[in-house]
Amino acid sequence: MSGLGALIKKELKEQLKTYRFLIIAIVLLIFGLMTPLMLKYLPEILKIAGEDIIIDIPPATAVQALTEYADTIAQMGVLIVVLVTMGAISREIDKGTAAMVLSKPVSREAFILAKLFTLSTSFVVALVLASIACYVYTVILLGEADITAFIALNGLLILFFIVAISVTLLLSSVFKSQLAAGGLALVFFVGQAVIANLPKIGEYMPSGLVSWGTGLLTGDTASAWGAVRMSLAIIIACLYLTWLRMRNKEL
Amino acid sequence: MDNLDTFTEILPFFIPLLILQLALMIVALVDLIKRQRVRGDNKVLWALVIVLVNIIGPVVYLIFGREE
């Protein structure tokens, strides 16, 4: 696996230069802050906005805020993953930079792993920031919540994002068109979310990671190791297929 | 509690949120101004998208609009 270190460095620089990291961090932070805020203040904002309708919503709870955070971040996160990853490989092949990089003594597996590693790192850093922001706001506005469960939930969200990155990377190596890769990646995620509602097979879908995480917040003890195993299998399969695709490709 | 009180109570919590959205918009606008060519060759249209479409506008510009 030659040249991995150098490639990671190059990719990290690229992430900053193309604003990828900034986009990921700001968008996740915005939704991290917004969820507890909206839950707490939406009834009052509606009141300021006029109209004397009496809205009868039971007061929001901290668990509710963190659960909603997880669902929103999972959805928005996948969308952002797809947007920043869908051209990751096809664009480099198109512009000729992939050929340039791979003419140096770096292996193709290093090329792929460097991309997976830097994208994942960006999401880990962004999620740490967003979760801290969300937790602080939740505690201030809505009260205490189980921090251990929340940390575990974020760990599961990270795994969920890495699945999304691997799937989109594979599609980006297969399709020349960024939109085709991005569209299919979204279809994959909507599809698995639908299947996740089915009995038996549903337990193995990556979405199970998110529901396991939100279950932890309410003290639900049902674990979802099936989803974890399936997620790891998807990541490994996607990396392998991306490598096969890159190995056979004339650049 | 009247509306003004509610407003001043809520406002400080929204400031970080506004700063983040503004930061994203400014980064996109500065890049747009500095860039020689953008996709579609229409800088004015991109500027409108960045300013008018909250969060998504700047993100779409930064990912699709920039031409190297």
pLDDT value of residue A198: 92
- Other C-beta atoms closer than 10 Å to the C-beta of A230 total 20
Quick check: A27 and B55 CB within 8 A? yes
Q: How many pairs of residues across A and B have Cβ atoms under 8 Å apart?
A: 48
Which of A167, A89, A154 is closest to A124 using CA atoms? A154
Q: Where does residue A223 fall: left (phi above 0), alpha (psi -120 to 50 degrees), or beta otherwise? A: beta
B62 contacts in A (CB within 8 Å)? 18-19, 22-23
Number of domains making up chain A: 1
- Average pLDDT score over residue span B34-60: 93
SS3 category, A55: coil
In B, what residues contact A, Cβ < 8 A?
Answer: 3, 6-7, 10, 13-14, 16-17, 20-21, 23-24, 27, 31, 55, 59, 62-63, 66, 68
How far apart, in whole angstroms, are the C-alpha atoms of residue A235 and residue A48? Answer: 48
Q: Tens digit of pLDDT for each residue in A151-203?
A: 999 999 999 999 999 999 999 999 999 999 999 999 999 999 999 999 889 99
pLDDT value of residue A222: 86
Quick check: A47 and B23 CB within 8 A? no
Among A30, A52, A72, pick the best mutation site for testing chain B contact (most B Cβ within 10 A): A30
Report the residue of chain A nearest B23, measured CA to CA. Answer: A26
Residue A10 carries which side chain, given as an amino acid letter? K
- Average pLDDT score over residue span B52-56: 93
Burial of A49 (0-12, 13-18, 19+ CB in 10 A): exposed
What is the value of ipTM here, to two decimals? Answer: 0.91
- Cα A129 off chain centre by: 14
pLDDT at B1 over 60: no
Q: What residue ranges do the domains of chain B occupy?
A: 19-65
Quick check: A41 and B10 CB within 8 A? yes
Residue A98 carries which side chain, given as an amino acid letter? A
Q: Tens digit of pLDDT for each residue in A192-209?
A: 999 999 988 999 999 999
Quick check: B63 and A84 CB within 8 A? yes
CA angle A22, A154, A35 (to 5 degrees): 70
How far apart, in whole angstroms, are the C-alpha atoms of residue A146 and residue A161? Answer: 23
CA angle A160, A221, A201 (to 5 degrees): 55
Instruction: Tell me the torsion sign for CA atoms A91, A97, A102, A103.
Output: positive
How far apart, in whole angstroms, are the C-alpha atoms of residue A215 and residue A149? Answer: 9
Among A17, A24, A27, pick the best mutation site for testing chain B contact (most B Cβ within 10 A): A27
How far apart, in whole angstroms, are the C-alpha atoms of residue A239 and residue B7? Answer: 51
- Average pLDDT score over residue span B15-36: 95
Quick check: B20 and A29 CB within 8 A? yes
How far apart, in whole angstroms, are the C-alpha atoms of residue A109 and residue A190? Answer: 29
pLDDT value of residue A73: 97
B63 contacts in A (CB within 8 Å)? 23, 83-84
pTM > 0.80: yes or no: yes
B68 contacts in A (CB within 8 Å)? 95
CA dihedral A114, A118, A123, A124 (to 10 degrees): 100
Pure H helices in chain A: 4-17, 20-48, 62-85, 90-95, 97-103, 108-142, 147-174, 178-195, 207-217, 225-247
- The answer to whether A145 touches A35, Cβ cutoff 8 Å, is no
Quick check: B17 and A84 CB within 8 A? no
Low-confidence ranges of chain A (pLDDT < 50): none
Quick check: A19 and B21 CB within 8 A? no
Q: In terms of residue numbers, what domain contains A78?
A: 4-247
